[in-house]
């Protein structure tokens, strides 16, 4: 077994996720350098009666990647395999960080159509958990997949697309690590383009009253509401003919590093130590960011550094329920003793055709709540979750939630299609863990 000889005997250290709330103590770690080596590792694990889980950069807040068996680290499965300009696709190794992919594509004069605001994740980790940005017409990262390659529980390598193993493709794009270990992904790409970002403070009442209009008029609209205030910060991204006009180096540093990370970190620390100060801090924070407009290539507009560590829960609700659900969250905070120092984020996505995508079969709005790491979050998240589930909400697979298979089967029309495929591809549950047992059932 060439693929495991140098790593199979290595005793694993404790693995922790980015937020520090999840740990894993696997029997061993394997760092395969090819799909073949990864397949060897899966077969070796089966021979030893061990479970297998791949792990990315740990940006999930759930225990989706936890195992007490064999932990697959994709650090050597990185880079672009192929670019097909005629087909408009790029094939990348599963462990490639989105940041490296974005930079490499830009160098080739190409870009993904849409992306989330954090680009530290691996491409497989991001798509497997349904990572998304915001978009009226362009959907989540997984909806931009055109083909995939994965190692199945029996160690075989399977390719899938709309034309090849289509039933696997329909599910594996958001596969939760339950169907196999992803080794490569083919994304749709397009010639690099420019986006003009318009960031602007706006009152809560105006944003919610005009939400449908703001959504319809912009290719990418999102906003943040600051609890304990009536203030929001909005962001509208639209394609531009140019010319490029990136933010100045100093102003970008002030907005993105000093205010959004440095000062915000201090504000969060003070708020955690003195909860009574949170509303006053929120009033100041919500007015700190000024209006600005700039034009740049997509990944420089869509993404931003996130250095303040936090806990997060996010729910996908039908788009028409977004404003009502958000107003309920606002009312909840105002009538409770909760002190929330982190903005509430609202984004959108069009319906897609992926079985367990949070936007599967319906136009969607996302409402995300956060609290600074180390702040007790259970009471806040539990109360918000109650509101979201009343609207038929679907939790983000990589963020804190308490839902189980019984609930999820009721909000995903194609849930049974996914679990039946899992029964066929992984009958012995080689890729199972406690999290998958909860959300998918036995």
Arithmetic mean of pLDDT, 194-207: 97
Of the given ranges (86-90, 219-223, 373-377), which has the lowest mean pLDDT?
A: 373-377
Asked whether 132 and 347 are in contact (CB, 8 A), the reply is yes
Arithmetic mean of pLDDT, 346-374: 97
Residue 67 has pLDDT above 50, yes or no: yes
Query: What's 276-339 look like in SS3?
Result: HHHHHHHHHHHHHCCCEEEEECHHHHHCCCCCCCEEEEEEEEEHHHHHHHHHHHHHHHHHCCCC
Predicted pLDDT of residue 205: 98
**pLDDT band for position 323 (cuts 50, 70, 90):** very high
Helices (H) and strands (E) in the chain, counts: 15, 20
Residue 407 has pLDDT above 50, yes or no: yes
Report which DSSP code applies to 141: G
Arithmetic mean of pLDDT, 124-148: 96
Predicted pLDDT of residue 258: 59
- The string of pLDDT tens digits covering residues 247-287 is 887 667 666 665 666 777 888 888 888 889 898 888 888 77
Predicted pLDDT of residue 9: 38
Predicted pLDDT of residue 362: 98
Q: Where are the strands (E) in 112-188, listed by range?
A: 145-151, 157-161, 181-188
**pLDDT band for position 1 (cuts 50, 70, 90):** very low
Residue 8 has pLDDT above 50, yes or no: no
Asked whether 146 and 354 are in contact (CB, 8 A), the reply is no
Predicted pLDDT of residue 25: 95
Arithmetic mean of pLDDT, 202-226: 98
Rounded-to-integer distance, Cα 197 and Cα 207, Å? 17
Of the given ranges (66-75, 175-184, 271-280), which has the lowest mean pLDDT?
A: 271-280
């Amino acid at each position: 077994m060439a693929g495991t000889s140098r790593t199979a005997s290595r005793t694993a250290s404790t693995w922790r996720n980015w937020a520090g709330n999840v740990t894993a103590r696997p029997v061993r770690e394997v760092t395969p350098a090819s799909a073949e080596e990864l397949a060897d590792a899966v077969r070796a694990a089966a021979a030893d009666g061990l479970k297998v889980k791949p792990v990315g950069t740990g940006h999930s807040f759930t225990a989706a990647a936890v195992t007490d068996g064999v932990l697959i680290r994709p650090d050597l499965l990185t880079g672009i395999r192929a670019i097909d300009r005629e087909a408009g696709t790029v094939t990348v190794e599963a462990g490639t960080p989105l940041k490296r992919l974005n930079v490499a594509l830009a160098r080739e004069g190409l870009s993904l159509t849409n992306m989330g605001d954090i680009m530290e994740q691996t491409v497989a980790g991001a798509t497997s958990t349904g990572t998304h940005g915001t978009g009226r017409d362009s959907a989540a990262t997984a909806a931009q997949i055109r083909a995939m390659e994965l190692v199945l529980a029996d160690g075989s390598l399977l390719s899938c697309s709309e034309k090849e193993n289509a039933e696997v493709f329909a599910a594996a794009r958001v596969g939760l690590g339950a169907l196999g270990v992803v080794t490569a992904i083919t994304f749709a790409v397009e010639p690099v383009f420019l986006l003009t970002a318009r960031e602007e403070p706006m009152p809560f009442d105006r944003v919610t009253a005009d939400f449908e209009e703001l959504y319809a008029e912009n290719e990418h609209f999102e906003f943040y509401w600051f609890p304990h205030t009536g203030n929001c910060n909005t962001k509208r991204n639209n394609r531009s003919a140019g010319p490029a006009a990136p933010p100045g180096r100093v102003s970008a540093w002030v907005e993105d590093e000093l205010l959004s990370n440095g000062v915000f970190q201090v504000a969060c620390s003070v708020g955690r130590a003195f909860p009574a100060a949170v509303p006053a801090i929120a009033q100041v924070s919500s007015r700190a960011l000024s209006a600005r407009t700039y034009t740049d290539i997509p990944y420089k507009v869509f993404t931003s550094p996130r250095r303040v560590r936090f806990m997060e829960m996010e729910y996908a609700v039908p788009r028409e329920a977004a404003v009502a659900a958000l107003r309920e969250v606002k009312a909840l905070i105002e009538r409770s003793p909760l002190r929330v120092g982190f903005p509430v984020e609202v984004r959108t996505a069009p319906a897609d055709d992926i079985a367990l995508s949070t936007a599967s079969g319906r136009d969607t709005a996302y409402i995300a709540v956060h609290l600074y790491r180390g702040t007790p979050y259970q009471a806040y998240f539990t109360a918000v979750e109650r509101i979201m589930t009343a609207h038929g909400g679907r939790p983000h697979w990589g963020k804190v939630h308490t839902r189980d298979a019984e609930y999820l089967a009721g909000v995903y029309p194609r849930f049974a299609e996914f679990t039946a495929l899992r029964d066929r591809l992984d009958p012995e549950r080689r890729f199972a863990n406690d999290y998958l047992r909860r959300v998918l059932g036995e």
